[in-house]
Structure 1
Amino acid sequence: MQQSRKIRRRGIKHQAKKMQMTNAKKNKYRQFLKSINIDYNNEDLFIQSFTHSSYVNEHRIRPHDDNERLEFLGDAVLELAISQYLFKYFENMSEGEMTKLRAAIVCEPSLARIADELNFGEYVLLGKGEEMTGGRKRPALLADVFESFVGAVYLDLGMDAVYNFLDEYVYPKIQEGAFSHMMDFKSQLQELIQREAQGHIQYKIVQEKGPAHCREFVSEVWLEDTQLGVGTGRSKKEAEQQAAQKALEKLNS
């Protein structure tokens, strides 16, 4: 009995040693954080932001040592930081336009692309199964890691550090119009129709209402003889975009 306890204790010690990250491995993260100008206090918090649940499960680490809680926090922090930036620097943009642009910035494809540009995939800690199925390059996983990283920046360094990080890697892309194409529902609809060779689409302004200083337009989008969507807006362009968005929602559902 005593012998078996000794064996179990050795096994536990071995497992603990196996789970513990070596200084050499931690140094990889230190160098990475330095390369992207993150002057951290708590390196373990940033390592946690790269820790996928599959790694935690496989190594029998405490359940909450993965990055999911940080992702939850980072999502909210990111929405606030992007909202503040749009409000401050796009004074003539309406609430609806800001909402659309923010959605285009914080969506999975955009965040995954930024994470990929920063080589986040190289630093994600994955279980063997997730690794073998290409998790390191999976857009959803990369987008989640980006959000958890923002959460770690906020907890460790505060909101100003989040703004500084985004000012270097995200805000310039907004000014360059890198996310505008994701708001262009007309182009998205055109590409979808062409890809599936369904026919030709046509927009029709079917109604104008309201006084000259507050005109509202109603647009319909048609695919051959089938109406796909109806939209309204303060300009013909906005009404057509709204109609295209409704058409995309209908076709995708």
Structure 2
Amino acid sequence: MPGTSAARGELEEFLAVAISPELLELALTHRSYSYENGGTGHNERLEFLGDSILGQAVTVMLYRNNPNLDEGDLAKRRASLVSSVALAEVARTIDLGRHLRLGRGEELTGGRDKSSILADTVEAIIGAAYLDAGGDAATDLVLRLIAPLLQDPERFGAAMDPKTSLQELASRQGKGLPRYEVSDSGPDHSKRFHAIVSLGGENIAEGDGTSKKQAEMAAALEAWTTLSSATV
């Protein structure tokens, strides 16, 4: 069940952005809930908007704060900060999962902790902030949300090349080479890719993206994060 009104108040206080209750509710509504409730609104349009705001805010911040980095390094850092794994990590720190409006199918399959759903919801909230509070407030929200990621250089390094980092970590742990299985869905002009990474025949992480490479990288970073946490 979605969070109580008190819990929702805690979320609004953390976000510190003036988003109307109706728009915030929309941002928290997954398409699975919409499909099971007569086609009510869901957050995919807000997610589309928020993705653009997120990318611009992170790009400008990296450009200004790293005058000595070339285009390639800036692009890698941006990719690591806006990845579904990074955004899902942000979402978990604020317990965003308990506020989601999900359909029964997603509820039963652990949708409240799926990285792809959490990441998409973060983007939808950013989009909602832009609509109700304006560009400056939305940018400030983005920078507050990603600030903890910038303080973790080890993880940041792995995010720059997650497939290599995962392979090296798995080798050190004696788990063998990662294997990737990728599927796609949607029309040709707007395909989505889903990757599953396994070690020793066991599926350990999943990732989504708009290309096969992006999905594999998201899955690899999720797997790297899981394996690293297990050794702490």
**Which TM-score bucket, shorter chain as reference?**
0.5 to 0.7
**2: CA distance, partners of 1:96 / 1:106:** 16
- Asked whether the equivalents of residues 48 and 66 of structure 1 are also in contact (C-alpha less than 8 Å), the reply is yes
Q: Which residue does 2:42 correspond to in 1?
A: 66
Deviations 1:139-183 (A, max 9, x none): 111111111111111111111112221232213532543523211
Decide which of 108, 131, 154 is 1:132's aligned counterpart: 108
Identity among equivalent pairs (%): 32
Q: Which residue does 1:47 correspond to in 2?
A: 25
Q: Which residue does 1:182 correspond to in 2?
A: 159
Of structures 1 and 2, the one scoring higher in RCO (CA 8 A, sep 6+) is 2
Deviations 1:205-241 (A, max 9, x none): xxxxxxxxxxxxxxxxxxxxxxxxxxxxxxxxxxxxx
- Asked whether the equivalents of residues 75 and 151 of structure 1 are also in contact (C-alpha less than 8 Å), the reply is yes
TM-score (norm 1): 0.62
- How far off its partner does 1:35 sit? 3.4
- How far off its partner does 1:44 sit? 0.8
- How far off its partner does 1:193 sit? 4.0
What is the identity, as a one-letter code, of the residue corresponding to 1:124? Answer: L
1:173-212 counterparts in 2 under 5 A?
A: 173-177=149-153, 178-184=155-161, 187-194=165-172, 195-197=174-176
Q: Which residue does 1:166 correspond to in 2?
A: 142
What is the identity, as a one-letter code, of the residue corresponding to 1:179? Answer: F
- Please, which moves more after superposition, 109-118 or 169-178? 169-178
Deviations 1:98-134 (A, max 9, x none): 0001011111111111111111101000111211111
Do residues 90 (structure 1) and 90 (structure 2) align? no
CA 1:196–1:33 in structure 2 vs 1: closer, same or farther (change >3 Å)?
same
- Asked whether the equivalents of residues 30 and 43 of structure 1 are also in contact (C-alpha less than 8 Å), the reply is no
SS in 2 for 1:71: helix
**Long gaps (5+) in structure 1:** 1-20, 199-244
**2: CA distance, partners of 1:54 / 1:166:** 26
Do residues 79 (structure 1) and 58 (structure 2) align? no
Decide which of 85, 102, 109 is 1:109's aligned counterpart: 85
- Asked whether the equivalents of residues 129 and 138 of structure 2 are also in contact (C-alpha less than 8 Å), the reply is yes
TM-score (norm 2): 0.67
SS in 1 for 2:76: helix
- RMSD of the alignment, in Å? 2.8
Q: Which residue does 1:207 correspond to in 2?
A: none
Deviations 1:36-60 (A, max 9, x none): 32233x2211110100111111111
- Asked whether the equivalents of residues 24 and 128 of structure 2 are also in contact (C-alpha less than 8 Å), the reply is yes
Q: Which residue does 1:152 correspond to in 2?
A: 128
Count of matched residue pairs: 177
- Please, which moves more after superposition, 122-131 or 171-180? 171-180
What is the identity, as a one-letter code, of the residue corresponding to 2:111? Answer: G
**Long gaps (5+) in structure 2:** 178-212, 221-232
CA 1:43–1:187 in structure 2 vs 1: closer, same or farther (change >3 Å)?
same
